[in-house]
Amino acid sequence: MASNVNSIITSGDLGGGLIPTEYANQIIQDAPKSSVSLTRMRQIRMSTRTRVQPVLDSKPLAYWVGGDTGLKQTTKMKWSGLSITAEEMAAIVPIPEAVIADSGIPLWSEVQPRLAAALGYKLDQATLFGVDKPASFPDGIIPQAIAAGNTLTQGKDLAKDVASMGQKLAEQGFAMNGFASQPGLNWQLIGLRNANGSPIYVPSLASGTPSTLYGFGLNEVTNGAWDTTKALLLGADWSNFVVGIRQDITYKMLDQAVITDDDGKVVLNLAQQDCVAMRVVFRVGFQIANPINDVQPDKTKRFPAYVIQPAGTTGA
């Protein structure tokens, strides 16, 4: 009788049930990104939905008095009202209770920071580029800067371009005090030096601290809101961009609500269908101030931001 040396039990002989599949209890993901609007812009608290902020529109003048008995002239100041209206952003994330019970990860602790990041993304889109903005918001900072002629196309010397931005803003009476940029610009800035041989860019050395460009904070917009076809770098006097917060980001758990579509049709009944939902709400407004200054009194010839556009860009 011939010997049998070819029989061996393989995984295929086990019917798929004897070798368990291991599932990780952690998610491979990037960290939620912060909003440059909430980081760089001036924040004010709003006690009502609409707030009118006085902005200096004209300054008083002084006159020489002619002779001992000359007449002294009168002068005045003028303010305009800058209206900020808080608009509401919100989202609801429903999850069946059975899915929550069977999940190997804490779902709500994963969902909550992502909702906050989604709000920041939406806010940055509206304030920086005017994308999907509420009617009460002004046009985005970058489109307005381009329309005002405060733009240059990236040249061969990026360090010189950035310095030119600061000079042009100063000629309009604004002090550039920070930057926002497209993702990855830091790699173009590393190694660049000014006329004295000093680095113009210093990478961040501590978590939560922005890198600096010419000594001023640089925030790369990495939450997906930046349009790389429109701008490479934004430099601004950020004190003139105002974010009004009527209600901070709040979360609420729902289990008795009904979710409907635009036509009123019930899409999900949380109680009847054993679901729980997390609702997030954020009420925020945005405005741009362009107060009169001593260097450029003509409002049509000044804007508190300057943009470097990518090479080959001809306009907004």
Please tell me the total count of domains within the chain: 1
pLDDT at 212 over 70: yes
Residue 22 resides in a domain = no
Query: Residue 220 in 3-state DSSP?
Result: strand
What is the span of the domain harbouring residue 45? 36-59+80-90+106-256+284-309
Q: Is residue 27 a part of any domain in this protein?
A: no
Looking at 24-33, 111-120, 237-246, which range is the least confident one?
24-33
The reply to whether 275 falls in a domain is no
| Residue 72 within any structural domain of the chain | no
What is the tens place of the pLDDT at every residue in 247-256? 999 999 999 9
pLDDT grade for 199, boundaries at 50, 70 and 90: confident
d(CA 267, CA 253): 18
pLDDT attached to residue 20: 62
Q: What is the pLDDT of residue 205?
A: 76
In a domain, 176, yes or no: yes
- Tens of pLDDT, residues 54-92: 888 888 999 999 888 899 999 999 988 899 999 999 999
| 268 within some domain | no
The 3-class secondary structure across 288-307, one letter per residue, is ECCCCCCCCCCHHHCCCEEE
Q: What is the pLDDT of residues 39-48, one digit of tens each?
A: 999 999 999 9
Q: Model's pTM, two decimal places? A: 0.86
- Would residue 116 count as lying in a domain? yes
Residue 35, SS3 per DSSP? coil
pLDDT band at 14 (very low <50, low <70, confident <90, very high): low
31 belongs to a structural domain: no
